[in-house]
Structure 1
Amino acid sequence: MNGHKIVLLGIAGPLLLGSCALFGLPTTYLFKHNPNQADPSAGGNAVASVSGTMVSTTLSLSGLTPGKAYIAHYHAFGPDSSTNPCASNGPVTQGFPNFTADASGNASVTVKADMTKIAGDNGAYVNVHYASDPSVVPICAPVKLAKG
């Protein structure tokens, strides 16, 4: 029975952030590599936790270009896709502070934001971009998997 509870929480966790009901439990979202040649070993996770009406999200990244500057943003669903938030080209709803990968290609950055900026379709995915060329998006973490 305990195994079933763990599986259920693992499935329900991503849905809860989308419905503003995370209840303070941290939820981890894995980054996936986008179909481009930028930073082919990049990966990591985003851990989001809620306290009252605020969400704290920490990105823990690896495989980035050492010494390179990056930017990251929460994005809303865009018009290009209703099933793959990372491909939907949605508008930015919340930015993270700019950051630079260390000599090993690792980086960590945290943002605290009001739930209304990243809840539901407003927080459908997190993209990590090159600061020098925001059109280059090596990795994306889907936070919500479908519109609505």
Structure 2
Amino acid sequence: MRGHTIVLGLVGPLLLGSCALFGLPTTYLFKHNPNQADPSAGGNAVASVSGGMVSTVLSVSGLTPGKAYIAHYHAFGPDSSTDPCASNGPVTVGFPNFVADASGNASVTLKTDTAKIEGDKGAYINVHYASDPSVVPICAPVKLAKG
């Protein structure tokens, strides 16, 4: 599942505002980070907005079976350029911890106030090893440009 691109990348730098305007879910594809962790990992994040709340469902595959993971929305960090996943931004809100099933699949849902992920907040979603958060197999950019 390597080589994923951003679903809305051709339309321009959008965040969850597109959900709010149209009331439709927005899908963001995970891309594999430049490391050897879970080389087949991939999946998507589907976000929908309703009543000032955003619901985001992560559906991932290719993980290490039985391994515990954590995921977070991150704001743009000081290293931002054209790749929010490489910007080293702070966590804005975390997903519940989860464990990959025997096939390496997992799904987790987060419901939170849109204020926690709007603007430059929630510029990307990282999936980390729970045992070592410095290991980030996959990332889903949800906003392409700072500001």
Quote the Cα distance in structure 2 between the aligned partners of 1:18 and 1:87: 23
- Contact conserved, 1:68 with 1:100, CA < 8 A, in 2? yes
Residue 24 of structure 1: CA displacement?
Answer: 2.0
- One-letter identity of the residue aligned with 2:130: A
Distance 1:25 1:11, change over 3 A: farther
Residues 37-85 of structure 1: per-residue CA shift (max 9 Å, x gap): 0000000000000001000000000000000000000000000122110
Query: What does residue 39 of structure 1 align with?
Result: 38
Moved more, 103-112 or 74-83: 74-83
- One-letter identity of the residue aligned with 2:98: F
Query: Percent identity over the alignment?
Result: 89
Distance 1:128 1:109, change over 3 A: same
Query: What does residue 121 of structure 1 align with?
Result: 120
RMSD over aligned Cα atoms: 1.8
3-state secondary structure, aligned to 2:22: coil
Distance 1:80 1:16, change over 3 A: closer
- Contact conserved, 1:71 with 1:99, CA < 8 A, in 2? yes
Residue 21 of structure 1: CA displacement?
Answer: 3.5
Residue 113 of structure 1: CA displacement?
Answer: 0.6
Quote the Cα distance in structure 1 between the aligned partners of 2:49 and 2:118: 11
Distance 1:85 1:23, change over 3 A: same
* Gap regions ≥5 residues in structure 1: 1-8
| 1:82-121 aligned within 5 A | 82-121=81-120
Residue 20 of structure 1: CA displacement?
Answer: 7.3
3-state secondary structure, aligned to 1:72: strand
Distance 1:120 1:45, change over 3 A: same
Residues 4-48 of structure 1: per-residue CA shift (max 9 Å, x gap): xxxxx8844861515774432100000000000000000000000
Moved more, 93-102 or 17-26: 17-26
TM-score scaled by structure 2?
0.89
**Larger-gyration structure (1/2):** 1
Query: What does residue 145 of structure 1 align with?
Result: 144
Moved more, 60-69 or 79-88: 79-88
Query: What does residue 6 of structure 1 align with?
Result: none
TM-score scaled by structure 1?
0.89
